[in-house]
Amino acid sequence: MAESAHSSPPGNNEPRATAGGASADAESPSTLVTARTWGDVTEPKRVTVPAGLWTRCPSCEAMLYQKTVEQNLFVCPDCQFHFRISAGERARQLCDQDSFEPMWDKLAAVDMLGFTDVKPYKDRLVSEQKKTRRPDAVVAGSGYIKGRRIVLACLDGQFMMGSMGCVVGEVVTRAIELATKENLPLVVVSCSGGARMQEGALSLMQMAKTSAALARLDAAGGLFISLLTDPTTGGVTASFAMLGDVIFAEPGALIGFAGPRVIANTVRQELPEGFQRSEHLLKKGFVDRVVHRHELRSEISRIIDFAGK
């Protein structure tokens, strides 16, 4: 029987001829897939990032390279948020290079009341001293800011939130007395959660002690520049922090006696936006100037020159 003139193309099962005469469906060696087992599959190589290289800004939540933040004086380059820093770092930032000389750095607190909360106070002190490598929550001494000699005291928020106990009160008082004796400008950087409850009434007495020393400095014609950082609260705010001849504050710093939540529950009213922040206190006259961390050295030296010190 003759083949039909309109024959259909070869089906899928029929081999197709190629120019070389070989079937198009024949598998070449280059297209063969070797079967693999789970034993042949290796885990992808993971790159481990060392801890401490990156940090997140608490304000804008941007991921920041830690070295960049340090070079920017611990200020977020995106939103200008001021990170909390230690007292030692504060002294390094404010004073001329290698000019700060620490004093009274051997004074350490003792548990005079045998106080125990979650754990004994003496154990808490040992833990904080190991963590910060400091005997207590203050660093003080003399140094130079743009060539002007000053007496500097910085509270350390990393040691029990910079709470003021007997050692903090004693060191701040000695710094005030040194400034009075040598007629030097006094700069105190406050960063504190208030009086240290583990020392009871003894910590509250430091409010009167430091304030009396400042009264003697004022009577002698001395200059006291108070710098308020985040946070400055409690008994520190109620004593030497707010007694400065000039009061500076860093941007966004929480400043007050009681916390905003306690105040809101007491007065039973909604608090204004930004209540107890440095910008709000500037409008109300509690703070003389809000100064960016990059400008602190210049502003302090300008005030010293203006006061003739």
pLDDT band for position 302 (cuts 50, 70, 90): very high
Which domains, and CATH codes, for the chain? 51-83 (no CATH), 85-306 (3.90.226.10)
For 166-209, write each residue's pLDDT tens digit: 999 999 999 999 999 999 999 999 999 999 999 999 999 999 99
Beta bridge partners of 192: 232
For 202-245, write each residue's pLDDT tens digit: 999 999 999 999 999 999 999 999 999 999 999 999 999 999 99
* Mean pLDDT of the 27-51 span: 60
pLDDT, position 52? 80
pLDDT beyond 60 at 24: no
pLDDT, position 5? 44
Neighbours of 261 (CB within 10 A): 9
Place of tokens 């010190």: 309
Kind and range of the H or E element at 13? Answer: none
- CA 287-290-291 angle, 5° bins: 135
Peptide bond into 29 cis (omega under 30): no
pLDDT band for position 273 (cuts 50, 70, 90): confident
Question: Could you tell me what percent of the chain has a pLDDT over 90?
Answer: 79
pLDDT, position 43? 62
Which pair of structure tokens corresponds to residue 204? Answer: 């509250």
* Mean pLDDT of the 97-113 span: 96
